[in-house]
Homo-oligomer: A and B are copies of this chain.
């Protein structure tokens, strides 16, 4: 039905007030040509992650509706949570899904950034593939200092916003809007309680310290299970696939006499990424999505 499809996963700094979260979801649901797939709130992080898909224009309209709904409901001056944040609507990534290029998403991020500044007076930073400067590709670099540090940071010439004046919105801070590939959150659980092992392996596999280019990774403790976890974000599964990262983690763990006891995918995963796993471990000599029965049926039924 819809020929062009993009995904957006806006992160909002409200994870406790159910009514406020429901109001934001309702604001997006009211927009035509877009569907809200998922809402995940974390009270400890005091943060909610919405997943929406739709026609590009529908997604932009829904995101503007989210700003309109979130801004009067969130006051960052009173916000305390575990997750770092700099804005009421903290970050808005745009992801190409079907019939849309990364360049289209970059253009859309710029259009959205311009409108957010004009309508809501929230300064906007472009990040990821939409970044106008190389040091702004990495969201973590932009967010350094958080809401509390931004009144100073925004006045430094090198941190002038991409849209808007160098003055933080008093209650909503600043927002990062960007374009990126589908992000896969993939956790690998290790049969040890030694957090040092998880941290060492995370360092070995993440791109920033010499590991795989499209991997971000942290070592964390799963206290109630008495084990540790390498928590991985794959920012481009097409170029750094899940099984290659898992096998690298398995080898590193073996150096410490530790086993992989299980893995988890958090949130959604593209079918292509799972098919990649099957192709990798089966060592399939020829694989094409055309071989999947359901796809052939869907094509045949038009």
Judge whether A293 and B271 touch: CB under 8 Å.
Answer: yes
Residues of B within 8 A of A285 (CB): 189, 262-264
A300: interface (CB < 8 Å): yes
Residues A256-302 near B (CB distance < 8 A): 260-265, 267-271, 274-275, 277-278, 280-287, 291-297, 300-301
Residues of B within 8 A of A147 (CB): none
Judge whether A246 and B282 touch: CB under 8 Å.
Answer: yes
Residues of B within 8 A of A293 (CB): 7, 182, 268-271
Smallest CB separation, A238 vs chain B (Å): 14
Judge whether A242 and B282 touch: CB under 8 Å.
Answer: yes
A2 to B301, CA, bound (A): 9
A53 to B296, CA, bound (A): 10
Number of interface residues of A (CB under 8 A): 47
Judge whether A292 and B271 touch: CB under 8 Å.
Answer: yes
Residues of B within 8 A of A1 (CB): 301
A97: interface (CB < 8 Å): yes
If over half of A's interface residues share one DSSP class (helix, strand or loop), that class is named, otherwise mixed; here it is: mixed
Judge whether A300 and B37 touch: CB under 8 Å.
Answer: yes
Residues of B within 8 A of A277 (CB): 277-278, 281-282
A274 to B292, CA, bound (A): 9
Smallest CB separation, A125 vs chain B (Å): 27
A172 to B207, CA, bound (A): 65
**Which one of B38, B287, B292 lies within 8 Å of A270 (CB-CB)?**
B292
Residues A1-18 near B (CB distance < 8 A): 1-2, 5, 7
Smallest CB separation, A265 vs chain B (Å): 6
A274 to B273, CA, bound (A): 11
A293 to B282, CA, bound (A): 23
Judge whether B284 and A262 touch: CB under 8 Å.
Answer: yes
Judge whether B243 and A281 touch: CB under 8 Å.
Answer: yes
A53 to B300, CA, bound (A): 9
Give the 10 A-B CB pairs with smallest separation, nearest first: A277-B278, A35-B300, A281-B281, A268-B293, A262-B285, A274-B278, A263-B282, A271-B294, A270-B293, A37-B296
List the interface of chain A (C-beta within 8 A of B).
1-2, 5, 7, 35-38, 53, 97, 182, 189, 242-243, 246, 260-265, 267-271, 274-275, 277-278, 280-287, 291-297, 300-301
Instruction: Give 15 pairs: A residue, B residue, CB < 8 Å, sorted on A.
Output: A1-B301, A35-B297, A35-B300, A38-B296, A243-B281, A246-B282, A264-B286, A265-B291, A267-B291, A268-B293, A269-B293, A271-B293, A274-B278, A277-B278, A280-B281
